[in-house]
Chains A and B, each alone.
Chain A
Amino acid sequence: MAVRVQQEPFDYGAECAAFAKAASRAGAGAVVTFCGVVRDLPGGGMQRMEIEHYPGMTERALGDIEAQARARWALDAVAIIHRHGPMAPGEMIMMVATGSAHRADAFAAAEFLMDYLKSRAPFWKKEIGAQGAEWVAAKEDDERALDRW
């Protein structure tokens, strides 16, 4: 399948259904999908999230992450969609989907894709709340999560 980087929202349900169909045609019997959603700030008051990215490197990094997943697991289909620009709480930020003959590979590859997306794809999140704007800090846990692969 494909890597898509876009500003506009996507229809998660429609994307999942289309992916499942395409994965099935490619021989998959198991499909795993994940989506990330803009959440409110701990105390509330989140107005919007803004995601900056590095056009060019983003597509390369996502393509590379997809290729690594395909090399490690028996995948019949992979999709990554990641948005940039402003989005409101509750809006979907990104999704990954994996299709494989059996579920173990599909689950593992989806987790791998997410771990790598978090800290190896050039996106930066900024949270704009009632108290002002702040860049989201990378978590050490996210970096450590890569060690298990």
Chain B
Amino acid sequence: MTLKVLYFAWLRERIGVPREEVDTAAATVGGLIEELRAREERYALAFSDLKALRVALDQELADFDAPLDGVREVAFFPPMTGG
């Protein structure tokens, strides 16, 4: 399946693009992260510490073990600092 993957804040800076289309066979967010890490050094570095990251599936916060079934948009970002 093809997912729209978005990156924000320092994650976006480290990976170098704000969004991209990703073809994946991953069943979960964790599986997708493994695929991204294996791509290139910049992804491996960006995803080296999952405690420092959050994920949203179709614009709702989710867990790293959440399934990707039916999901169209995945966003990765650091903990939010609004207010």
Residues of A at the B interface (CB closer than 8 Å) are 36, 52, 54, 56-57, 60-61, 82, 93-94, 114, 117-126, 135-138, 143
Q: How many A-B residue pairs have CB under 8 A?
A: 70
Q: Which of B2-10, B28-36, B41-49, B63-71 contacts A (4 or more CB under 8 A)?
A: B2-10
Q: How many residues belonging to B are interface residues under a CB distance threshold of 8 Å?
A: 17
Sample (29) of A-B pairs whose CB atoms are under 8 Å apart: A52-B8, A52-B12, A54-B56, A54-B59, A54-B75, A57-B56, A57-B59, A57-B60, A57-B75, A60-B59, A61-B59, A93-B83, A117-B82, A118-B80, A118-B82, A118-B83, A119-B79, A120-B82, A121-B82, A122-B82, A123-B80, A123-B81, A124-B77, A135-B78, A135-B81, A136-B81, A137-B79, A138-B78, A143-B79
| Closest A-B pairs by Cβ, 8 of them | A138-B79, A123-B82, A57-B59, A124-B9, A118-B83, A121-B82, A117-B83, A125-B81
